[in-house]
Structure 1
Amino acid sequence: MEYTVGKVYHGFKLERQEKVEELNSIARIFEHEKTGAKLLHLENDDSNKVFSIGFKTPPSDDTGVAHILEHSVLCGSKKFPTKEPFVELIKGSLNTFLNAMTFSDKTIYPLASKNEKDFFNLMDVYLDAVFYPNIYSTKEILMQEGWHYELENIEDELTYKGVVYNEMKGAFSSPDGVLMRNIQGSLFENNTYGCESGGDPEFIPDLTQEEFLGFHTKYYHPSNSFIFLYGDGNLDKMLAFINDNYLVNFERREVNAEILPEKPFNKMKEVVKEYSISVEDSSEEKTFMAMNFVAGSSMDDELYLALSTLEYLLLETQGAPLKQALLDAELGKDVYGYFDGSILQPVFSIVVKGSEKEKKEKFREVIFGTLQNLVDNGIDKKLVEACVNITEFKLRESDFQGMPKGLYYYMTAMDSWLHGGDPLVHLRYEENIEKMKQGLTTNYFEKLIEKYLLNNTHSSLLLLVPQKGLADEKEAQLKAKLQKYKESLSMEELQEIVNETRELIKRQTTPDSHEVLETIPVLSLSDIDDKVEELKVEETEAEGIKVLYHDVFTSKIAYVSFMFNSNCVKEEDIPYISFLGTLLGKLDTSTYTYGELSNEVLINTGGVYFKSEVYGDSKDVNLLSPYLEGHCSVLVDKLPVAFNIIADIMKNTKFEDKKRIRELLRMLISRVEMRLLERGHQVASTRLGSYFSPSYDYVEKTTGYEFYRFLKSLDDNFDEKIDSTVGKLKELINTIFNVNNLMITVTGKDEELKAVQNNVSTILSVLSTNEVERYSYEFKEENKKEGMLTPANVQYVAKGYNFKKLGYEYTGKLLVLKTIIGMDYLWNKVRVQGGAYGAFANILRNGNMVFASYRDPNIKETLKAYDETPEYVRSFETTEREMTKYIIGTMSELDLPLTPSMSGEVAISLFLRRISHEDRVKERKEVLSTNIKDINNFAGMIEDVLKQDFVVVLGNDNKIKENKDIFKKLENVFN
């Protein structure tokens, strides 16, 4: 259908229409005449259609009202009155993405699906949720999602409970998270960016029902909305749907959501904040320092891209000048940068982690001295070329792994659109890339440093210092406060809280009626493609080396992996493989310094990196295939150069620079520590799996807590261990980089494959040809039953075992069981009733079954919920319609769209884990044929798995100690 600027289509007036070459899309910008709703449409041939509606939601306090509202509108609406329409959609939709997100100044509700019928169903539920939520008639929604006083009986202890309350307690447990939250607060004293949009647990209980509803009434109106449509969908049909079903019911109104810019400071502001560490932990080298600058406007498209590139140039590359200067000055263990261009006044931050507060002035001196030196003497032009090149490569590649392209484009558009700017300004990058290339011959980036960093007083110096037992102290103060409050209440007032608590529990434990559930639109099984996309891997060769080739269009980018079987390494040396992978490409070689090497990589490729990987066998739980993999993405014409670089790294890496090795070691420790606190469910699950699964045990030794202990021991005893460590690393290089260990994988078309075959001799020429000794790793099952102590305010509770070891077999029907347990039973018991932010069951082909919770206030209650799963499964009953939903929801996970690089990764992984196309066809048929009886029959399996009583809990030290009878061993994670 042709569209004409100035014409009205279903209430939407087309204001602009143009081609965006960078996205290969036609962009159309509409305004809804009746309401003023804004709409951006990007038309292209992407079948993964995206819809989103967003609202400008600037908070004025730290109660987290915007975040709580984001959760709450998805708890039932006028047309879809179920308690959890969001969950019902996940259960029964073919969505490829479904979520909601709160930012500092906006809240968005994005979804994606390749199925048109499903897409309209999802759009209907989301639009009804944001415009007609049940929050006005059901006060328990704020209680559940935000906060409430919990008191089941008058004699009980009075506590706070709520999903967002516990989520943010978890978020505030991570010092890196606390730092990021305080950066904005230090720069914005008088506008919304100084507020915590997610909610500070200390202030969340200040939020009243009236303020909560008032925020929705004010901001969730079409006149304050930003609607987005992307992909190959029927625009006319979508516009008609949005107008006729929703916008037509509203009138235009003024919504005062303006965000006034913060006035610049006259001088740098200094702020000191505290974060908690355990009483047993040392407070040495635990201070964070951040220097932060407010830089320009998010609507300045050139500056937006240039400052992002400058942050990478100064702080992210190997040998980045500012990062290196801070490390050379021994100011801390880790250095990183942060640029947030998504807010009205973007923020540029320089962060040092693992420091001491006494080093504050030196921190300031090194930053300004280094920046001034760069301005006076110029930035290395090779470094400029490298950083501009990688920025351009990543923009052209458009590979936003895990996120639909359309959603990335929407979020990018909103950075300017939200503030009245052009939504296309950041999507068009060609011209700004060319402007940045001026930096190759001019002082382009030096001028940015001078204006936005050196001569910018709108800045802050933030120190985040450790305080032993702060979390416990705050918890004790909170208990005392709640006890005092309880004592001030009359019996009638206490009974009212008890009644409200019981009413909430009653609502949470009462299932929706079938009539209510049937309001949620559902696809039929006939809407599902019964064919499995074949991810073919062709076995071929290059110079006698086995090549696994995945044929897919990649826009002339070759995705190549050099996979070296690492079972030639002794069991006790496994952690060194992962450490070696981290070091490769970040140390000097005989040819380049590590800074020069980084420049060569970024100028000529889309990235080169090495990592340890292991592939468990789908047929035999005891088999595993470990590799050290060298990966690169490169345009086919640059492939010979890329292979020369990789060969240089493999052959000529030098390990003499012990100072550099320690820098990299400490940065790695810092990043692993971040993961321990922010992804505790993964850490606990891996630790648990290592008790009973050889492949999990390998992962634990190469990326998990065991690896962290290995790194810490090396750092704590560096002088004694470094010589033997270097010897070990050199030995591993000689052992692993051997022709007899090598297999190559290629993702691309025939041109890319031929380029690899024609140039592989470059790699082979640097490899050893010695005979290789293979090791089979002895695995001993052991239930360590650990409580892992941290200063966090929440827990991550994991329990499970391997069902194949108990004589059970894998079937695709287990995937439907996983959906039912995760999105029904655990969601209700652990999240809704227990107050955890999340809970899931993971069930794998190799037999590993793990239950885990995320940001959980409980331990025993969660383990009890896990242990009661068999009874739930045994007595599980539902309607045929609901069963169809569970099956469809399961299928959506099997059919996630893959980018070219992801397609190659998945195809190779399936091949190495011995999962054939026939296996996947069989699995799909089993999913589609699952019935209630099948689910009931899994009760015995789950019972047997849980009876093994394998448990790991990572969380608050006091909480774990209070429950010490559960554990065989308590482990202090950070001591």
Structure 2
Amino acid sequence: MTLFEKLRSHDIAELRTTVEEYVEPLSGARHIHLLTDQADLAFLVAFPTVPHNSDGRAHILEHLALSGSQRYPVRNPFFSMMRRSTASFMNAMTYADRTVYPFATTDRNDFFNLLDVYLDATFFPTLDYLNFLQEGWRYTLEDGKLRYQGVVLNEMKGAFTNPLQALYNGITAQLLAGTTYAVVSGGDPLDIPALDYQALKDFHASHYHPSQALFMTAGAMPAAQVQQRIAERVLAQLPGNAPRRLPQLATVAAPRQHTIGVPAQADSASEHGVQSAWVLGESADLTALHHAHLLQAGLLGDAAAPLRKALESAGYGRPARIIGMDANARQILFHVGMEGLTREQLDDARALLQQTLEAVAQTGVPEAALQAALRDIVYQQRDTSGGRMPNILSRMLNAVPAVLRDGDAIDAFDSAAILAQLRRDIARPGFFQGLVRALLDNPARLDAHVLPDPDYFKDRAAAEEQRLATIQAGMTPAQFERIGADNRALEELQRAPADASLLPRIRPADLDRQPKALPAVPEARDGKYVFSIASNGISSARMQFDISALGEHNWPWLRLYASLRDGLGVTDMRFEQAGAWRRSQVAQFDIGVQPLLDSAGALRLSMNFYASALREDHAQIAAVLDTYVGQPRFDEQARIRFLVELMLRQRRNSLAQEGDRQAHLAASAPLSPLRAFEDASEGAAYSTFLAHLQAKMATEEGYQAVIDRLASLHESLVQCPATVLLAGSGDDAQALAALFNMAPAQDAPARHRTISGKRAALALYAPSQVNHCHIAWKAPDMQHADAPALAVAAELFQHQFLHQALRERGGAYGGSASYAEGAGTFTMQSYRDPRLAATYADFAEAVERMLDRPFTQEQLEEAIVSTIKKLDHPAAPFGAVLAAWSLHQRGIGTAARQQYRSGVLACTIDAVRQAVARWLRDASASRAASVGNLAQDMAGLEVLDLAASLGAEAQHSA
């Protein structure tokens, strides 16, 4: 018997789901349950968190809630459960006005194990003082100087490397002044040290109560089973009720103007911007929300949309990256803007924005553009993909803000009613013009000058240094002793063995002995592979050209080709006409290059053209793919120059925040043909290629050479062996296949690629306050006898060494290890790390300690469970098709998968040590780091200034 009362239920046929809404009347706690036959069991609890300053209290509380609780007073129960559970997703997220704790698993016992841990963590955390020092912030003394340290502090230093973060913070601080959205919910690193321990505990007491909580669950189980556990574990111990917290509403009576400084490279004269943002209706109001969606679709939805077309064809600047509808706050914001401007172009840009909007308020947009937007809503309602998390959990997370902001819970999951109204809306003459006119007449607007600041990081670092120096100068001996005592106590805690025996766990014996089932790859019929999947009436087609035989000198050109084609014209249509036509035809479209290493170690490359739409749009899928494969245009000179410049500027503006990926590729490229391709086509080498390309295209002769190269590349790739993957519900894929005329399937041999073999020792420099450190070794694929042991070793490294050394003691946001059998590498890495040389020393020490440290049977079993969990990560139906196809292309069958899985399940510590000695200790490593400043110990790495490489013409084959 539970205390929850059922308010209503609602069937959603497209999702095969019933939404049930409950409330517990004594506390006001709400529970939304999605009754479904899907295999995933999902849970989340969400709290409105509305801080009034930027000291990061909501974010730090999220970390501390997962660091020990009353029933589970162990260190880091969250990270312990990650290796004691088969969960396909576990996390916690702090947003501007809420904190959410979600997980998903397919195992019923695991679900209730995690439910107990999550309920106790959120409602009854210990909030230990030493954990506050570790996860939030603390003082340390380094060479006699006072310093700040802390996981969240360093995480947010990394977040602040993104210019968009600074811009968005500046917009909301002005436009939503007086609300929680005007502060940095994650914490401003300059303000985080203002948070004291008692204020954090008070924040938990006032925000984490059943009266504020929203519970959501999904799965093939009665809601009462979860409610019973909530009643026993939470409601029985936390009585009382309180009004639900809602974020404040901003009041803007007249337009405001402001200058917002953002991080920029030294050469920033052409990186000014103009930005306008309006406050619209409440995001929980579905009518207001979808009207904003239509406004975005009509103005910006494709290259022919009037505002996007005006911004891209102005002859100067480019569309701002913060643009369109923004429902992150309780009130919807709508952004328009331009960036990449000189100071002299600011007035022209403002005039262009105003004149374009005024023109659209008079003429409107084609109804087809709005119809396509409505079709996309239907597509999203049926879509079974969920990215890195199960689809059902993704839907729950998307519904949370609307429900917490007092929106309708049913409407948050089912768009049918609003769709009917929107169809009537767009049929009314002048409807869209009215949306634009209302935007123009809305006085709740901010007009901002975006000012590039090359001293942004230097000034923030100087402000921190000055503050610390002032504090240190005023400290008493007793205060210094307190700092030392706190750090000694924390270090003692961090080095103490963690006893996780109180936590529930899944054991290897509980796991399935067989590999996770994947769709069988059928025999090809005239080059077509047809898959019947549970896709809710969505059909997909991917036309693939095996380009493995193309030479390595083509690698950056292949990426360029794939990146450009989406934005260029086809047949007799210019780029803007082609964009509008394609958007009217299909819901999803993509062109990309995929690298694979086959079982012989040879690199296979494919150029893939992908389209997806509702089953009633099969003819359009075929037409779009046929047109983009067969009838490209490379004659739009101004457009190609614009797109190349856009790619280059975006890379220049994202050097620091993309540093982790760049360092990973630079470290791994000398060891793996697959990573070598990725480095050449998306890493630091590709940035240099783009810089050279832009310089080459400055002359007519150079531009023509580039166009000729792209056209020649197209002719080469369409002559390569082609196949098409087709997937849909029931017989849909077979019906779609009938629309494709393909030659009989061919299997071109992959080419063995040479790798340099020369290990990297590289520091990729871009100004910031953190580093990303990577080290890599060559490793075998999954069919090698050592592969299972290396996979288990990665989990042991991460959970038994790196987490403690890099995150707990070192202050990095993350420290991990990974065995990438598909790439042939073993790596260790740190993320948003204040250290560099010390981190590489920790990597080396971890290898040595792995060889002689005693491990318990439980620790080994946790590593085995973690490894199997990654193998069994659920995939959306079409994602499972692509996974099966990838294994098929690599030549890895069921027997090889079974052998690898059995090897993991039977792995021993001796096998782990032997593999680590053979592949890591006795082999040379390759190192690369993204570094934020050059004054630190560079650990023997050679510096490459990324900004300089982007600005200089490179010596590259063209």
Q: Identify the residue that residue 260 of structure 2 maps to in structure 1.
A: 273
Greater shift, 204-213 or 438-447, is seen at: 438-447
Matches within 5 A, 1:833-852: 833-845=809-821, 846-852=823-829
Amino acid at match of 2:129: K
C-alpha contact (below 8 Å) 1:413/1:426 kept by paired residues = yes
1:523, CA displacement in angstroms? 2.0
1:236 lines up with 2:235 in the alignment: no
Q: Identify the residue that residue 436 of structure 2 maps to in structure 1.
A: 449
Deviations 1:190-228 (A, max 9, x none): 111111101001100000112111101110111111111
Q: 1:308 to 1:570 in 2, by over 3 A?
A: same
Which whole-Å CA distance do the structure 1 matches of 2:926 and 2:749 have between them? 35
Which whole-Å CA distance do the structure 2 matches of 1:130 and 1:550 have between them? 43
Which whole-Å CA distance do the structure 2 matches of 1:357 and 1:967 have between them? 38
Matches within 5 A, 1:766-777: 777=753
Partner SS, residue 577 of structure 2: helix
TM-score (norm 1): 0.92
C-alpha contact (below 8 Å) 2:140/2:483 kept by paired residues = yes
Deviations 1:77-108 (A, max 9, x none): 11111110010010110111100001111101
Q: Structure 2 residue aligned with 1:81, among 73, 84, 98?
A: 73
Q: Identify the residue that residue 167 of structure 1 maps to in structure 2.
A: 155
Partner SS, residue 696 of structure 1: helix
Greater shift, 549-558 or 605-614, is seen at: 549-558
Q: Identify the residue that residue 136 of structure 2 maps to in structure 1.
A: 146
Q: Identify the residue that residue 559 of structure 2 maps to in structure 1.
A: 578
Q: 1:957 to 1:533 in 2, by over 3 A?
A: same
Q: 1:171 to 1:357 in 2, by over 3 A?
A: farther
Q: Identify the residue that residue 970 of structure 1 maps to in structure 2.
A: 944
Deviations 1:906-950 (A, max 9, x none): 1111112222111111111112112333333334135436x5241
Q: How many residues align?
A: 943
- 5+ residue gaps in structure 1? 1-8
Which whole-Å CA distance do the structure 1 matches of 2:892 and 2:51 have between them? 50
- 5+ residue gaps in structure 2? 952-958
Greater shift, 830-839 or 395-404, is seen at: 395-404
Matches within 5 A, 1:369-408: 369-408=355-394
Q: Identify the residue that residue 93 of structure 1 maps to in structure 2.
A: 85
Which whole-Å CA distance do the structure 1 matches of 2:279 and 2:784 have between them? 59
1:157 lines up with 2:122 in the alignment: no
Amino acid at match of 2:672: S
Q: Structure 1 residue aligned with 2:866, among 889, 909, 917?
A: 889
Amino acid at match of 2:481: Q
1:839, CA displacement in angstroms? 1.8
Partner SS, residue 282 of structure 2: coil
Q: Structure 2 residue aligned with 1:718, among 684, 688, 697?
A: 697
Which whole-Å CA distance do the structure 2 matches of 1:143 and 1:428 have between them? 44
Greater shift, 791-800 or 163-172, is seen at: 791-800
Which whole-Å CA distance do the structure 1 matches of 2:845 and 2:590 have between them? 45
Which whole-Å CA distance do the structure 2 matches of 1:202 and 1:561 have between them? 48
Q: Structure 2 residue aligned with 1:632, among 611, 614, 619?
A: 611
C-alpha contact (below 8 Å) 1:887/1:928 kept by paired residues = yes
Q: Identify the residue that residue 289 of structure 1 maps to in structure 2.
A: 274
Deviations 1:270-302 (A, max 9, x none): 221223345xx3113223432211110112112
1:832 lines up with 2:804 in the alignment: no
Q: Identify the residue that residue 519 of structure 1 maps to in structure 2.
A: 502
Amino acid at match of 1:630: F
Q: Identify the residue that residue 802 of structure 1 maps to in structure 2.
A: 778
Q: Structure 1 residue aligned with 2:927, among 944, 947, 951?
A: 951
Partner SS, residue 595 of structure 1: helix
C-alpha contact (below 8 Å) 2:311/2:318 kept by paired residues = no
C-alpha contact (below 8 Å) 2:35/2:222 kept by paired residues = no
Partner SS, residue 79 of structure 2: helix
Q: Identify the residue that residue 105 of structure 2 maps to in structure 1.
A: 113
Which whole-Å CA distance do the structure 1 matches of 2:877 and 2:649 have between them? 32
C-alpha contact (below 8 Å) 2:260/2:449 kept by paired residues = yes
1:613, CA displacement in angstroms? 1.5
Partner SS, residue 497 of structure 2: coil
Which whole-Å CA distance do the structure 1 matches of 2:761 and 2:403 have between them? 52
1:323, CA displacement in angstroms? 1.5
Q: Identify the residue that residue 744 of structure 1 maps to in structure 2.
A: 724
1:892, CA displacement in angstroms? 1.8
1:785, CA displacement in angstroms? 1.5
Which whole-Å CA distance do the structure 1 matches of 2:695 and 2:336 have between them? 26
Deviations 1:451-500 (A, max 9, x none): 1x211111112333222233123323422331332232222321221111
Q: 1:773 to 1:19 in 2, by over 3 A?
A: closer
1:411, CA displacement in angstroms? 2.5
Q: Identify the residue that residue 315 of structure 2 maps to in structure 1.
A: 330
Q: Identify the residue that residue 540 of structure 1 maps to in structure 2.
A: 523
Q: Among the aligned pairs, what percent are the same residue? A: 22
Q: 1:638 to 1:15 in 2, by over 3 A?
A: closer
Which whole-Å CA distance do the structure 1 matches of 2:698 and 2:717 have between them? 26
Greater shift, 348-357 or 188-197, is seen at: 348-357
Partner SS, residue 472 of structure 2: helix
Q: 1:549 to 1:812 in 2, by over 3 A?
A: farther
C-alpha contact (below 8 Å) 2:761/2:941 kept by paired residues = yes
Partner SS, residue 88 of structure 2: strand
Q: 1:78 to 1:242 in 2, by over 3 A?
A: same
Q: Structure 2 residue aligned with 1:787, among 763, 785, 788?
A: 763
C-alpha contact (below 8 Å) 2:539/2:727 kept by paired residues = yes
Q: 1:707 to 1:334 in 2, by over 3 A?
A: farther
Q: Structure 2 residue aligned with 1:52, among 23, 31, 44?
A: 44
Q: Structure 1 residue aligned with 2:901, among 918, 924, 930?
A: 924
Amino acid at match of 1:272: T
C-alpha contact (below 8 Å) 2:726/2:737 kept by paired residues = no
1:808, CA displacement in angstroms? 7.8
Q: Identify the residue that residue 868 of structure 1 maps to in structure 2.
A: 845
Deviations 1:318-361 (A, max 9, x none): 33321121122234244442422242111111243322344333
Deviations 1:602-652 (A, max 9, x none): 2322222211121122x344x100111111113444323322222222232
Q: 1:817 to 1:778 in 2, by over 3 A?
A: closer
Q: 1:885 to 1:568 in 2, by over 3 A?
A: closer
Amino acid at match of 2:542: S
Q: 1:839 to 1:52 in 2, by over 3 A?
A: same
Q: Identify the residue that residue 501 of structure 1 maps to in structure 2.
A: 487
Partner SS, residue 323 of structure 1: helix
Amino acid at match of 2:663: A
C-alpha contact (below 8 Å) 1:615/1:913 kept by paired residues = yes
1:550, CA displacement in angstroms? 3.9
C-alpha contact (below 8 Å) 2:568/2:574 kept by paired residues = yes
Which whole-Å CA distance do the structure 2 matches of 1:288 and 1:764 have between them? 51
C-alpha contact (below 8 Å) 1:559/1:632 kept by paired residues = yes
Q: Identify the residue that residue 610 of structure 1 maps to in structure 2.
A: 591
C-alpha contact (below 8 Å) 1:147/1:165 kept by paired residues = yes
Matches within 5 A, 1:905-916: 905-916=882-893
C-alpha contact (below 8 Å) 2:68/2:75 kept by paired residues = yes
Partner SS, residue 461 of structure 1: strand
Amino acid at match of 1:296: G
Partner SS, residue 531 of structure 1: coil
Greater shift, 790-799 or 423-432, is seen at: 423-432
Matches within 5 A, 1:365-764: 365-438=351-424, 439-440=426-427, 442-451=429-438, 453-513=439-499, 517-543=500-526, 545=527, 547-617=528-598, 619-621=599-601, 623-673=602-652, 676-720=655-699, 721-738=702-719, 740-748=720-728, 751-761=731-741
C-alpha contact (below 8 Å) 2:538/2:612 kept by paired residues = yes
1:404, CA displacement in angstroms? 2.1
Amino acid at match of 2:111: F
Q: Identify the residue that residue 857 of structure 2 maps to in structure 1.
A: 880
Matches within 5 A, 1:245-264: 245-255=233-243, 257-264=245-252
Q: 1:316 to 1:150 in 2, by over 3 A?
A: farther
Q: Identify the residue that residue 70 of structure 1 maps to in structure 2.
A: 62
Which whole-Å CA distance do the structure 2 matches of 1:224 and 1:636 have between them? 42
Partner SS, residue 119 of structure 2: helix
